[in-house]
Structure formats: C-alpha cells, structure tokens
With several copies, the nearest count.
Chain A
C-alpha cells in the first residue's frame, strides 16, 4: 500500500511542525504519543499510530534536552514508523525498526542548525547596531525556517525516496562526521560560559568562580545549592561593603 501525495505532504508538514512546536509553543512538544495519534488520523489507522506512539513514548521517558544538549528526534521516528508500518504492510513492529535510526539522526541535525543559528544571531546583532531594527527581526525568522527544513528533511527523503536511501546515507556518512557533530554538540555549550566570563568581572572576583567550581566539581552540589551558597556570599559581600562605608564615615567615633 502506497501513500497518497497529500498524506506524504501532511507527514512532512507534521515533521516540521512538531519540531518548531517542541522548541517553542510546546503544544505537542513532539511527544510520540501525540504525534502517533496525529499520524494515525492522517493515515487512517489510529490504532497503529497509538501503538507506535505509545512504544516510543515509553522508550523516551526521561530523555530531555537540557542545557542545550541534543536528543534523538522521537517525534520524527514516530512519523517514519507509522508511514512504513503502512506501506510495507508488515505492521508496527517493522515500522519501529525503520523509524528509530532516522530519529537518531535528529541529534546531528539539531547540532547543525544550532551552529547555523550562530550566524543568524550575529547578523541580527549587527543589524541592531546599524539601527536596522526591522531587518533585525526579519533575519531572526530564518531560524524557524531552518528548523522546519532541517528537521523535516530526513522525513522528506525517507517518504519520497524510501527508507533504504536514508539507511544508505547513514551508512555512507563516516563516523567522524556524525560522531564529531555530537561531540561538538557537547563541547560548544562551553562557549557560552566562556563568553559570559568575558563580560563579567571574572578577574576581579575570581575567588567566587573558584568557590563555585570547587563546590560543584569536587562536592557535586547541584546548581541550586551553589546558588544558595552564592546568595549567602553575595549578602555578606553587600553588608561588608555597607559596613565599610559606615565605618569609614564614623571612623574613630565607634572605636573603644
């Protein structure tokens, strides 16, 4: 059984939509259960859609993109799985095994477009400085466009050219490309912190950085605990400054 053109288009749009949604509005948040339900409606087989969506949902419990990390795209995996369960006619199980590798590709796609986003961000800031505020906003809209294109690309290829081509591409991609991208995705969040340090008084107050580091790296206190400690230190810093000012003023008066 092959898919109608409108179904293919709809599924590609779903792939784009859930990925935009996951990064912003969070109506579906690309949750497999929800995506499965939608695909089921499009493909006219709600039961398979729910079954596949349910399976991927349970598989992805606890997987969350935090701190800017990239995770497999279980939403797209669900779409592919639903489609191929239908076309191959061999049911959900086969769909699941075809869907998963395509979903895994989501990590690399995510790293890629986040890298591209850097250029957009820089361009936007340049426009700001040139007081081209309209352009500043407009260029930023490229990001959602990119998300839509990048993240629906694997789906489009798989649905038009067939899963074997996707697999072939995956096989041809050398490990150092995919692996390298995911390593980059793990190293690059450090760039943000490094930039932060550049426009904070990092040298003057490096002792506080050190304390935060020791407490986190050696003692494994989570960031909320560090922040509570930091609050204590900041308050002491503040009151000491006040006291210094007062004493400087009152001077000898206070002395015994």
Chain B
C-alpha cells in the first residue's frame, strides 16, 4: 500500500494556517478539537485521497476525539499527514493511535510552557509597565505573538518532514507499530481518565466538632474517583443502543444542574 507522496511544503503551510485560525473555536465536549482538525487539514487529505470513499473514511477518522495544545498540534498533524501520504488509508488506525499517544504529553508540555510560563513572564512585564502608563511591555507582548504566529505556520511542515523520516525508517511494520502505539495510547488514556474530569464534591459531614469532607473520604477509597466514575458512566451510556451523544450531553447538563443545586458537585 505504498504510494507516491503528494503533499508539498505549501500545502502544509496552508493546513497550518487553516488549523491555527480555527483551533479551539470549534471545541466541543465529545470530539474536542476534531472539527478544527478536519477544517484545517481537510483540503490536504483531499489531495491525498482523490477517491471519494477513501476521503470520507479519512475524514471520519479525523472527526474522532483529539485534544492537545493547539500550537504544538501542528507537529502531530504534520507527522500523521506524512504517514497518510505514504501509506494511504490503510494507516488510519496508526494515525489514530499516534494522535492519541502524543496529544496528552504534548498538551502537558505546551500548557505549561506556552499557556502558563510565557504569559506569566510577558504578562508581569506588560502589567507592571501598563500600571505606570507605559505601553512598551504590552507592545512587546504583541510582537512576541506575531513572531510565534510566523513560527506556527511552519510547524506542520516540520512535523511532516520529520514524520517522513521516521516512516522510512520503520517502513513496512505498520501493523505491529499500530498495536504498540495502542499500548502507549491506552496507558495515557488511563491517566487521562483519572484527571480529565475536574469536578469536586464540596459536601461535608459536620457533627459537632467532627468535620468530614466527603471528597477526602472518596479519595481514600479510590483516588480520582469522581473523574474515573464519570468517564466510566459516560462510556457505558455511549455503549447503550439508541443513545445519541447529543442526548448524553443534555443528560450531563441536567445532572450537573441538579448536583449544583443540591451542592453535590462544584
């Protein structure tokens, strides 16, 4: 299933721009950044798959859950494009696994460096200067952002290039690699199941001077209990015949309102 690659650097820059403009805008709770992925790299996929059916299959594959730091995402998307460009639709599972394995760790790094460290440094400079009526720090911040926008247009291409190198190295073992990537992916997913839901229960039992927080208690029984139970319940719900994702979302909202009203969750 080895094909002649068709994507060029120009394609990748275009993909990066489309992706970067959309990114978190289409964020939804079931597939998270997936629609933006489709929006971003859809035209590139079209070029890879002139055949309509394959194109649809590829689109459906990318309509699946994906979430990571949006800037770093370019690298992942570039790498998987390289794979699809080389191996065609038969690489769909590998694409999926690679996206899943990388998204967690890269989100961790990106969120720390780009969403936390950078704004803290630039923000404190800009903020203090602004308080004194000096706009220099603020303008510096704007310029830094311009610089990063420029960098980001190139990142998908970087991912594509490096991805191609890797594929050439491991060529022909797509099945084994898919399986191994599942192992990595599922390990990460196990960790995500413990952390993705951040709702806590504020309930406490107050009896005279005895004061017991339910949250502490749950933690003692099973740490991350609320998160893992939520994921598990949703997993079961999704499995139910005739249960649409839309219905589940509405159920969760209803449930949240009830829990919020009675002070069960916060």
Taking a contact as CB atoms under 8 Å apart, the answer to whether B257 and A177 are in contact is: yes
Chain A 98-123 residues near chain B, CB threshold 8 A? 114-115, 117-122
Question: Whole-angstrom distance between the alpha carbons of A187 and B65 in the complex?
Answer: 16
Taking a contact as CB atoms under 8 Å apart, the answer to whether A227 and B231 are in contact is: no
Binds A, one of B7-15, B83-91, B111-119: B111-119
Q: Which bracket fits the contact residues of A? A: 35 or more
Question: Whole-angstrom distance between the alpha carbons of A67 and B221 in the complex?
Answer: 17
Taking a contact as CB atoms under 8 Å apart, the answer to whether A140 and B22 are in contact is: yes
Taking a contact as CB atoms under 8 Å apart, the answer to whether B238 and A198 are in contact is: yes
The one of B60, B141, B227 in contact with A125, judged by C-beta atoms closer than 8 angstroms, is: B60
| A65-B115, A217-B224 as given contacts; A140 in contact with B29, CB under 8 Å | no
Question: Whole-angstrom distance between the alpha carbons of A54 and B105 in the complex?
Answer: 33
| A183-B256, A191-B252 as given contacts; A197 in contact with B183, CB under 8 Å | no
B145 at the A/B interface (Cβ < 8 Å)? yes
Question: Whole-angstrom distance between the alpha carbons of A115 and B248 in the complex?
Answer: 11
Taking a contact as CB atoms under 8 Å apart, the answer to whether A176 and B260 are in contact is: yes
Give the dominant DSSP class at B's interface.
helix
Q: Which residues of chain A are near B183, meaning CB under 8 Å?
A: 205, 208, 230, 233-234, 237
Taking a contact as CB atoms under 8 Å apart, the answer to whether B193 and A213 are in contact is: yes
Taking a contact as CB atoms under 8 Å apart, the answer to whether A223 and B191 are in contact is: yes
Taking a contact as CB atoms under 8 Å apart, the answer to whether A26 and B101 are in contact is: no
Taking a contact as CB atoms under 8 Å apart, the answer to whether A192 and B30 are in contact is: yes
- Closest-CB distance, A208 to chain B (whole angstroms): 4
Q: Which residues of chain B are near A165, meaning CB under 8 Å?
A: none
A58 at the A/B interface (Cβ < 8 Å)? yes
B135 at the A/B interface (Cβ < 8 Å)? yes
B214 at the A/B interface (Cβ < 8 Å)? no
B204 at the A/B interface (Cβ < 8 Å)? no
Chain B 180-224 residues near chain A, CB threshold 8 A? 180-199, 208, 210, 220-224
Taking a contact as CB atoms under 8 Å apart, the answer to whether A143 and B104 are in contact is: no
Chain B 235-261 residues near chain A, CB threshold 8 A? 235, 237-239, 245-246, 248-249, 252-253, 255-261
The one of A121, A193, A202, A237 in contact with B35, judged by C-beta atoms closer than 8 angstroms, is: A121
| A215-B191, A216-B195 as given contacts; A224 in contact with B222, CB under 8 Å | yes
The one of B65, B101, B135, B198 in contact with A50, judged by C-beta atoms closer than 8 angstroms, is: B135
| A180-B257, A183-B266, A208-B183 as given contacts; A193 in contact with B231, CB under 8 Å | yes
4 additional contacts, CB 8 Å, given A129-B60, A137-B42, A217-B194?
Answer: A66-B111, A190-B197, A205-B182, A234-B187
A sample of 22 inter-chain contacts (CB < 8 A) reads: A33-B141, A54-B130, A66-B115, A67-B107, A68-B67, A69-B198, A140-B22, A184-B256, A189-B32, A189-B197, A190-B197, A190-B231, A191-B29, A192-B32, A196-B189, A197-B193, A199-B96, A212-B191, A216-B195, A230-B188, A241-B176, A241-B179
B residues adjacent to A (C-beta < 8 A):
20-32, 34-35, 38-39, 42, 46, 52, 55-56, 59-60, 63-65, 67, 70-71, 96-97, 100-101, 104-105, 107-109, 111, 115-116, 119-120, 123-124, 126-131, 133-135, 137-139, 141-142, 145-146, 148-149, 176-177, 179-199, 208, 210, 220-224, 227-228, 230-232, 234-235, 237-239, 245-246, 248-249, 252-253, 255-261, 265-266
Would you list the 8 A-B pairs with minimal beta carbon distance, nearest first? Answer: A212-B190, A54-B130, A180-B257, A230-B187, A216-B191, A179-B260, A117-B28, A188-B29
A residues adjacent to B (C-beta < 8 A):
20, 22-29, 31, 33-34, 36-37, 46-47, 50-51, 53-55, 57-58, 60-62, 64-69, 114-115, 117-122, 124-125, 128-129, 131, 133, 136-137, 140, 143-144, 147, 175-177, 179-184, 186-202, 205-206, 208-218, 221-227, 229-231, 233-235, 237-238, 241-242
